[in-house]
Amino acid sequence: MFDKVLIANRGEIALRIIRTCRDLGVRTVAVYSTPDADAQFVKAADEAVHIGPGAPTRSYLNIPNIIGAAVKTGAEAVHPGYGFLSEDPYFAEICADDGITFIGPPPDVMENVGDKATARKLMTAAGLPLLPGTTEPVDSVEAAEEIAREIGYPVIIKAAAGGGGRGITVVRRPQDLRDAYTTTRANAQAVFKNSAVYIERYLTRTRHIEIQVLCDDFDGAVHLGERDCSVQRRHQKLVEESPGPGIPPELRSRLGAAAVAGARAVGYRGAGTVEFLLEADPEAHNAFWFMEMNARIQVEHPVTELVTGVDLISEQLRVASGSPLTVKQEDVEVRGHAIECRINAEDPDRGFAPTPGLLENYRTPGGPWVRVDTDYVPGSRVSPYYDSMIGKLIVWGPDRATCLDRALRALSEFEVSGPGVHTTIPMHQEILGHPEFRRGGIATDFLERNFAL
């Protein structure tokens, strides 16, 4: 195991990683921007290094400053968390060049699965089902129009280097394709520095199901069940739960086997997530299709931890340090039900506009089987520089109904207030209490159909 690990991230995920490192006797180094100088993760780490001002490009995306901090403090490894540099193969290569272990998959694997078009090609070769579409980037609007005619409308145009719900455009009519193609490519270039896009058939009634996988260098590869991430706004997740409601055992086995086959096919190592679209119509015989693979720890990883008892960060650290996984497939047992609500400083009534500001009052819920991952305390300030998520409420119950009731109780105990600060807590209460959600098996259009957004 490593002696010292630098966490190239901030907020709740940095604090989460620090806690597991402490459990394992691993010393930690935090890096922080000027606005984060008084953050909890900075105080929790054994050492902390200032790496720049608030703008991410000058701090948490500043590779020379992060590598410099690792070298200066003698850190043997870097954990990138999620977001920022977590799926940047160039950063992983720079780490290797400086003799620092990157806690994640090899750079070439990260590059292959990070390019969504390449990933589709590799997963097709591994036998995973794909929606009709392209496995190569679409280089012209004329080609896009021809492909759309062949596979049929509606179609979805996706940035090959995209992620986090960005770089996606749904096109329902042929006359809208040209503008959508041009705009998506321009946005992809601006956001991801890569204008490549691909096209696939768009299904209007689907569920978003993802499978957590773990792989080591000793031919160990396991899946830890599924998470249902179908409650989304603008293709960004709000609520995640495990296991997926209404997923029969036979389908769960097929999804898990497909995810492991895909991970093995690309030579994956560490913790990753294989994401699928599942036909929402129960009469569709449980058809599913590969969507993408995320080469990092996910925001929603705690729901898997609560139902399996597996510390995913610990497994990441073990694999990166050259040890085998501690869990085999026959050891994995899903117990009860877990749900996660992302608590964002946003105003749903204004299109989920971020509402940064001072948290004059911040009280998190507690009690049995309630977990809150957060880096905020009363007096913290939600910065306009970073993601608006201020915490994750994760709740476990012996069954789904109990879990939902417990989550509603916990949401009622959450207190967040400050000048101009709004949160998604009231929306989560509406979602968890909605009859359609309570029945389970909702599609990704649930919010659009039931809420005036």
Mean of all residue pLDDT scores within the chain: 94
* Residue 452 reports pLDDT greater than 80: no
Contact call for residues 83 and 9 (beta carbons, < 8 A): yes
Please state, in angstroms and rounded to a whole number, the distance separating the CA atoms of residues 51 and 63: 10
The DSSP secondary structure of 254-290, one letter per residue, reads HHHHHHHHHHHHTT--EEEEEEEEEES-GGGTT-EEE
In CATH terms, the superfamily for domain 132-201 is ATP-grasp fold, A domain (3.30.1490.20)
Please state, in angstroms and rounded to a whole number, the distance separating the CA atoms of residues 231 and 241: 10
Q: Which among 285, 273, 223, 297 has a CA at the least distance from the CA of 119?
A: 273
Contact call for residues 231 and 447 (beta carbons, < 8 A): yes
Q: What are phi and psi of 410, to 5 degrees?
A: -65, -40
For 192-221, what is each residue's pLDDT tens digit?
888 999 899 988 889 999 999 999 999 999
Burial (0-12, 13-18, 19+ Cβ within 10 Å), 264: middle
Domain 206-450 falls under CATH 3.30.470.20 = yes
What pLDDT is stored for residue 453 in this prediction?
A: 63
Angle at 169 between CA 301 and CA 109, to 5 degrees: 45
Q: 132-201: same fold as 4-103? A: no
Strand locations in 326-388, DSSP E?
A: 337-344, 346-347, 353-354, 357-358, 361-363, 370-374, 381-382
The DSSP secondary structure of 15-65, one letter per residue, reads HHHHHHHHHTT-EEEEEEEGGGTT-HHHHHSSEEEEEE-SSGGGTTT-HHH
What pLDDT is stored for residue 280 in this prediction?
A: 78
Domain 4-103 class in CATH: alpha beta
Phi-psi region of 52 (alpha: psi -120 to 50; beta: other; left: phi over 0): left
Please state, in angstroms and rounded to a whole number, the distance separating the CA atoms of residues 181 and 142: 10
* β-bridge pairing 27-33 and 47-52: parallel
The residue type found at 220 is: G
Please state, in angstroms and rounded to a whole number, the distance separating the CA atoms of residues 442 and 438: 9
For 67-115, what is each residue's pLDDT tens digit?
999 999 999 999 999 999 999 999 999 999 999 999 999 999 999 998 8
Residue in 120, 227, 252, 296 annotated catalytic = 296
What pLDDT is stored for residue 283 in this prediction?
A: 61
Domain range list for the chain: 4-103, 132-201, 206-450
Q: Which positions ≥6 away from 416 have C-beta within 8 Å? A: 343, 345, 359, 361, 362, 363, 390, 423, 425
Contact call for residues 221 and 260 (beta carbons, < 8 A): yes
Q: Which among 318, 224, 216 has a CA at the least distance from the CA of 267?
A: 216
DSSP element (H, E) containing 29: strand 27-33
For 386-429, what is each residue's pLDDT tens digit?
999 999 999 999 999 999 999 999 999 999 999 999 999 999 99
* Residue 167 reports pLDDT greater than 90: no
Angle at 81 between CA 276 and CA 404, to 5 degrees: 55
For 319-359, what is each residue's pLDDT tens digit?
999 999 999 999 999 999 999 999 999 999 898 999 999 99
Please state, in angstroms and rounded to a whole number, the distance separating the CA atoms of residues 35 and 89: 27
- pTM of the predicted model as reported, rounded to 2 decimal places: 0.92
Q: DSSP assignment, residue 161?
A: E
Please state, in angstroms and rounded to a whole number, the distance separating the CA atoms of residues 227 and 241: 5
Task: Output the six-digit token pair for 137.
Answer: 């980037």
Task: Output the six-digit token pair for 356.
Answer: 């940064």
What pLDDT is stored for residue 162 in this prediction?
A: 76
Sign, Cα dihedral of 86, 92, 95, 101: positive
Annotated active-site residue 149? The verdict is no
To which residue do tokens 């507690």 refer?
Answer: 366
